[in-house]
Amino acid sequence: MWNTTKIENMEGKVIIVTGANSGIGFHVTRVLAGKNATVVLASRNEEKAKKALKKISDEYKSAKLKYINLDLADLNSIIEFSKKFKSQFNRLDVLCNNAGVMWFPYKKTVDGFELQFGTNHLGHFALTGNLLDYLLKTENSRVITMSSIAHFTGKIDFSDINDEKRYNRYSAYSKSKLSNLLFAFELQRKFDEHNINSLSIATHPGIARTNLFNSGTAGEKNIRHYFHKTISFLFGQTAYLGSIPMLRAATDEKIKGGKYYGPLILGLWGWAVRNFSSPRSHNKKLAQKLWEISEKLTGVTYKFN
Ligand SMILES: NC(=O)c1ccc[n+]([C@@H]2O[C@H](COP(=O)([O-])OP(=O)(O)OC[C@H]3O[C@@H](n4cnc5c(N)ncnc54)[C@H](OP(=O)(O)O)[C@@H]3O)[C@@H](O)[C@H]2O)c1
């Protein structure tokens, strides 16, 4: 079974992990730093990011870590992040689109997008587009995008893309995670069309005990809040095990683009293997429509040559 001992020395590789300060992103960062990669912690909270950075540096004295502020719910912050990254690095081997929010009451991002779709999908769409030139100039670069089993119930209503008419926090999260998959698969098709040797791979962690289950209802502290916490407490595997699919997708030389990796046991727990996603996630027309609207909303146009 694939495990992190299979990861070779990553000296010289530059990797970005969004949401690196917590949960799955923290372990992805920690393991890759331990394999000598240079890892950029792309986090929105400086204090949390520096705490995570210190913890990893304490474990691996020679870890090469850099914090650059990134708020995926703010298009200007994404542009600023990309500029800062490009001024400090000349390659990008792996972009881990990991950060996410789940089950929030109705809120909007700085740019007026529904928060979960805006952060989880549009934020990463804009980030990847802003970094595309670096991904294209780095041989065999990879984009790893985090989805969820929640994508199975995801649907996209293009006539109400920001859920302004009707909002359900669970459906909005599922829609954002379906969008992550549609994006990841479409990106690979575009790489193939343009004969680009970069890979786009999707992953999910099954269920992992992380802050994700607390944050959406943190301001509510009602039955719903304790119910969400109970789900992760009863059914969640460790955040470390939850990070294995993303780690495998980021490093395993045998993996092909356009695939989806998740846990072995019922797609919920255990080591990382190839998983299957919903028929809707492979719908090319839907993916193209989402791509077009994502370019329009974010103002980010992908240029492959
Ligand atoms: N845990 C699970 O069972 C599970 C299941 C399926 C999918 N996932 C996916 O796994 C990914 C990681 O989640 P996790 O479980 O590790 O949860 P987590 O511990 O809550 O981590 C989420 C990370 O995303 C960051 N983030 C949220 N909004 C952001 C924004 N606007 N800009 C930049 N960073 C932002 C958070 O930053 P702060 O610390 O500042 O909030 C945090 O670092 C998410 O995409 C999630 O949907 C998790």
Q: What is the pLDDT of residues 66-123, one digit of tens each?
A: 999 999 999 999 999 999 999 999 999 999 999 999 999 999 999 999 999 999 999 9
C-alpha to C-alpha distance for 58 and 138, rounded to whole angstroms: 30
Model pTM?
0.97
Please report which confidence band the pLDDT of residue 231 belongs to, taking 50, 70 and 90 as the band edges: confident
Ligand 1 within 6 A of CB of 186: no
Ligand 1 within 6 A of CB of 21: yes
Options 173, 226, 240, 260, the catalytic residue? 173
Q: Determine the atom of ligand 1 nearest the C-alpha atom of 45.
A: 40
Pocket test for ligand 1, best of 21, 22, 81 (most atoms within 8 A of CB): 22
Judge residue 292's burial from the number of C-beta atoms within 10 Å of its C-beta, 0-12 exposed, 13-18 middle, 19 or more buried. Answer: exposed
Ligand 1 within 6 A of CB of 25: yes
Query: What domains are defined for the chain?
Result: 4-298 (3.40.50.720)
pLDDT beyond 90 at 236: yes
pLDDT digits (tens, 9 = 90+) for 53-82: 999 999 999 999 999 999 999 999 999 999
